Every structure is written in C-alpha cells, then in structure tokens.
Structure 1
C-alpha cells in the first residue's frame, strides 16, 4: 500500500479544492478502486470526461503507441496526430478549421478572443460586446469567469474585463433587448451544466441564431460538457439543428487525457492570423492521438444510438427511487447529462447526497447546491447502471431516515 494519504493533500496542495475522503488508484470500465481496494461505481465520469470509462483498451493503445514515438514539439512544428484529429473533427461537424489547446477554459478563451478579433477586423473597435447568460459556466481564466454568469467565481478577482453583459437563459426577449450592432459575439451552453443541467429550448437557440445573423454577431456554443457524444449526438448543436459559428470542446474529447479545441468556419478562422493566439501544448501528439481514438470509438456504429437508451434506464431508476422517497422536484437534461433537482425540503443539501452515495460505493456529482448530476461513461453496462442505482437508493434511504 502507498504511503500517500488523503491528509497529505491538505499539507501540500493549495486549498482551492475539497476532494473526497478516498484516493482512487485504479479504474476499469465504469468501476474504480481506492487505496484500500474498495470498489466504486462511477456515475461521475470525471465530470463528463471519461466518456469511454477508465482504461479503455483503444485509448491505452493509442497513448502507448504514440508515447513510444513522439511526445511534444510545440507549435513550431505540426504533427501527424494533430492533423488527423483536426481532419476528423471537420469531417464530423460544421467546422472547417480547428485550434487545439488543453482545456475547456482555454477553448472558450480562444473562442471569445476570436469573436472580438473578428468583429474588430470586419466592423471596427466599437463592436466588442460579448453577451452571455445568467447561470452559465465557461471556465476559470479571468476572461472566462467574467463571461460566465455566476458572480461567485469572480468575487475577489476584480477588476475583470469589461464589455460583457448577461441575460437570463432561455429568455429570447431578454436576448433581443440586449443584442445590438455593437455585439461581437453571443456565447451559450446548449445545455447549462454547472448551472444546474438545464437544456436550452430549441426555439430559443434558433432565435438567438437569427438575432446573431441580424446583428452580424458570432454565435459561440460552449459544448465543453455537452459535446463528444454526451447527448446521443456527437455535439448537442446537431441534436438541435442550430449551427454556431464557433464551438468549444474539451472534457470528453480526450477521454481523460487533457485536450481542448475550438472549432470554427473558414470565414471566422481567418481573423486569427499568424501570431494572434497560441498554446505551447496545444496540438500535443500524445493528446491528439488519444483524442482521435476517443472520437473513432464514440462514432462507431451503435455507440451514440445507445446513449438515450442508457439515459432512460437511469431516468426510470431515479423515478422509482423518487416515487418512494420524494426527494426530487424534477429530473432533466439530455442523453447522459442528467440533473435531478431536489425538493424545497432538501434544498441546499446536494452535497449530503454526494457524501452518502460515496459511503455506499457510488461516485456522482452535484451541479450547484440543489442539483444532483449524473454523467457516467457513454458505454456504461446496464448491469453497472442498475448496481449504481441500487447503491444510490441505499444512500437515499439512510439520508432520509
């Protein structure tokens, strides 16, 4: 057994995280084991990252093979995995061009910078406003927390960048009242994740697309959490039938290996000319090789088709639990991005359910203080879904007794 302990985290780590009391050391499929050999079923998926579970053979093979050949070059040279991945992503989406980085925040940073620069070059410096929505989450850089619609994340970091406004989510009238010819870009999560797992209404996203076209503003979809198969389509915009100008993607894109990407059109991409933006690690051969394996596995016949079936199995299980214990006001989401909002009697106690589930051998998430979030592997076996729900029911029973 390792001599590393959870208590040591508090001694050596900056205290911006409060990780659970166990230290996982091994994962396989949708199961994880801690230092004591205790087994957990994973309904968290590393916050919608482990789309193919833990230690998927195709990903291990891609990383091992690439690791024996070429690790890093930086952007002074390109590499085969980066080009192959970009080619595959453009084949599968609306995009013509791809920019690689290392995280969702960086992908959104690139998207927002592109939005402003495109407006600057084509319309002038006064066209610089960025419109976002209340409750949104777009990352932890100073720019992205400023654009995000949750003030708690920028508290104490002011002054933050200006030229940013926020309107209510799913409120087309509010967006119409705010947008103008000085708007450079509108950024929206098709499904708000951290804000409570709230899907956008189709007519809302269609309306925002039309408003952006009317005012020559770029539409950015933040698909960091909703992308790479999570909804049953490769990207949620494909499910809605609403095409953005720019899309940010990360999390599941690497299946657990850090990578992010910004996808866009030829028309927009030309605004980021040589030297205007960059990333030392972006397009890293290791990351791109693993990511290509992820994309190829997720787009295999039958994988995306099974997502909604598995999601319905979880919904049915949660309904059965709720029929007995009455803890949920609503279960919402799309595909395997599900949120269960607690009733008023349990408001603010989402983390209590998280801890109780962990005690029963189930890893899950919250999305704010009132919503339990479920983002398991897209290929989680039905048996693991059923076993995880059984463990969750035990946790609920103990908590409400």
Structure 2
C-alpha cells in the first residue's frame, strides 16, 4: 500500500542511478533518458560542473530567506537579463509560480483583469495558472476558476484580432505548446500578438517554462522570431533538477512589484541558485547553443526518414531538442515498447510521443535512439 496520493500515472520502473543521458533502474537495466525530467535535466543527469557548484554551496549556507541580500541571486539574474529582453528577475520555485507571478504582475501593472491564452495551452496547476490553461481536463472538478481568462484557438490570427481590445491586460503564449502536443506557433502569429499588445497597452507574456534555457537552440525560444516580450517565465531547465523558477520582466514593470507585493519563502534559495549559475554558464554559450540547433536538425531529419512508410505517424514537429511524433492511437503502445527496449519517452497529449533528450546528448546516443524507434515502429506496424 502506498501512502502517496495517486496524482501521477507512473512508469513501472524505479530509477536508482543516473549520469548524463543514461539512467539505471532498481533491477540494473539501463535506459537512454529522452525525458530529462520533462525538459529539466538539460545538461543531463548530475553534470560535473553543476554538481561541483552545488557541493561548494552546501558547505556555505543552505537557506536564509529573502530577508537578506544574496549575491548568487544577482549573478543568476544578470545572466537571465543579459540573454533575454528583460531587465529584472523574480525568483520562485517552479514554472507554475513563475506564471502565477506573471499573471499578478500583468493585472497590477495594467489595472486590467482580462488575459488571453490559447486552447491546449498549459501554464500550471495553481488556481490562477490552471485558469490560464486552455485544457478542460486540467480544470475539471475544481469548481469556479479565476475569472477573465479567454481561450482562443492557437495560431488563429483572425480570432486573435477579433478578441483583442483595450480591456486586455495580457496575452500569454507558449512558443511551442508542450503538453498540448509539441505544436509550434507560427512566426506571423507571434508577431501579431506582439503588435497587438503594443497597440493596446497590453503585456506580452511568453511562457518559456519548457522551451527556455537552451531547449530549442536559443537561450529562449521566442528569440527564433525576433520578438521582445514584456515578461518571460522560466523554470524546468534552469536548475538542472533543483527547484527554481524565474519571472523576467522589462524595466517598466519593476516598480509594480515593490516590497510586500509578492514573495516566496524558498524562491532564490542558495542551493538552487548555485545549480542555476553553473547551468547557465554552460548553456548560455553561443557555441553550445549552436550545437543544440545542429543536433536538433540532425535528429528531426533522421527521424523523418525513420518514420517514412508508417501511415500511423502523421507528423514530426518541434524545434531544437524538443520534438513530437504524431502517431494517433498508437502513442501509448509505442511509448511502452520504447521503454521495454531501453528508451524513455513521454506523451504530449493523447496522440504525440514527446522526445526531450538532454542538450548534451551525443550523436551516437541519438542514433541509438533512432535505431530503437525504428524497431518499435516496425513491431507496431506488423499485423497481430
């Protein structure tokens, strides 16, 4: 009997050890981990430089609270600002908390309440972020949601233009919908969001919780599209597995969050920030990011070749090392068979297999994963 609430559908393996791209279960079986803690372990498991930074901080101080200044916060914030369109950072513990802060910021700064988000989006599971999420299955059973959220079809320019007016506080969008099926936004759609926000004194919020910190080959995915959002939210890959999130905002927003307006006990914790500092030092390097783009292009190109001839695979989508394979009702069976053969993947919605390898994955590991995928697709295609 378990003493845990059954909130997760767990795989039937327990991971006992992990290093780089390889994890080992309690039975001694090894797997290529193309989940990466759901785009968290962007440098693979237990990267030596990150582990060293954490161990050094463990010998100094673990926690003080935000009553005291912490130079680590300034150091990590400066890296996030340097590599984004923002000017100031609020540290928290998760992506949901970062999005919660963004929602509060938008309403307080604009003195407006209406926020536009998009169908099949995912922004978190707190009441505000659940209300922002455009998926009924996330919201079901919890009673009245936070009001004034409008859900529009993703990539629908006409619907966006018709819904937009001066009463909108913010438009909140994912550059690639992760939980919604690894669906990229069209460049023109994102540009129109930015244009409409500028015209209506509306904040442009980009949720980069899954796509940020190098996942697509840029520091943040919006940078593929020449955008300048007012607020960027980040988490997952920021701490290499330690809990840390960040809301990054432009200078005009700074006075909105004065003392007492928002806060968190654990946000910006020294241990988490030590991990983030070491993580960003590696990922926010032009050569590293270019390598991620090359690996992503290689993976997608090779995967498109692998899936040729399998009618149940209808699309390969994504950018960098965030890739989705649309495979309909075969999704669950494919994920199960991949796991049995030593490749860990996860779903994105009911029909997509999501591939999120560490950004440090080698070409040899990509080839090994492709070989396993080809075997599984062949098995699934064979008549029973």
Which residue in 1 is equivalent to 2:158?
173
Deviations 1:351-378 (A, max 9, x none): 2211111100100111111111111111
Q: Distance in 2 between matches of 1:269 and 1:218?
A: 14
Among 35, 54, 59, which residue is 1:44 paired with? 35
**Offset, 1:348:** 3.0
Which residue in 2 is equivalent to 1:4?
none
Q: Distance in 1 between matches of 2:125 and 2:264?
A: 17
Greater than 4 Å deviation, 4+ residue runs: none
Alignment of 1:88-237 (within 5 A): 88-120=79-111, 127-237=112-222
Alignment of 1:253-268 (within 5 A): 253-268=238-253
Deviations 1:10-39 (A, max 9, x none): x12101101100001111111110011111
Deviations 1:124-176 (A, max 9, x none): xxx21011011100001111111111111010011111011111111121111
TM-score under structure 1 length normalisation:
0.93
**Offset, 1:78:** 2.2
CA contact (8 A) 1:102 1:258 kept: yes
Q: Distance in 1 between matches of 2:285 and 2:239?
A: 16
**Offset, 1:324:** 4.2
**Offset, 1:396:** 2.2
Q: Distance in 1 between matches of 2:168 and 2:310?
A: 48
Among 274, 277, 297, which residue is 2:262 paired with? 277
Q: Give the superposed CA RMSD.
A: 1.2
Which residue in 1 is equivalent to 2:370?
389
Q: Secondary structure at the match of 1:65?
A: helix
Number of aligned residue pairs:
382
CA contact (8 A) 1:80 1:285 kept: no
Q: Which runs of 5+ in 2 are unaligned?
A: none
CA contact (8 A) 2:292 2:359 kept: yes
Q: Secondary structure at the match of 2:275?
A: helix
Q: Distance in 2 between matches of 1:96 and 1:308?
A: 26
CA contact (8 A) 2:307 2:374 kept: no
Q: Secondary structure at the match of 2:216?
A: coil
Which residue in 1 is equivalent to 2:352?
371
Q: Which runs of 5+ in 1 are unaligned?
A: 1-7, 121-126
Q: Distance in 1 between matches of 2:158 and 2:70?
A: 46
Among 320, 324, 339, which residue is 1:358 paired with? 339
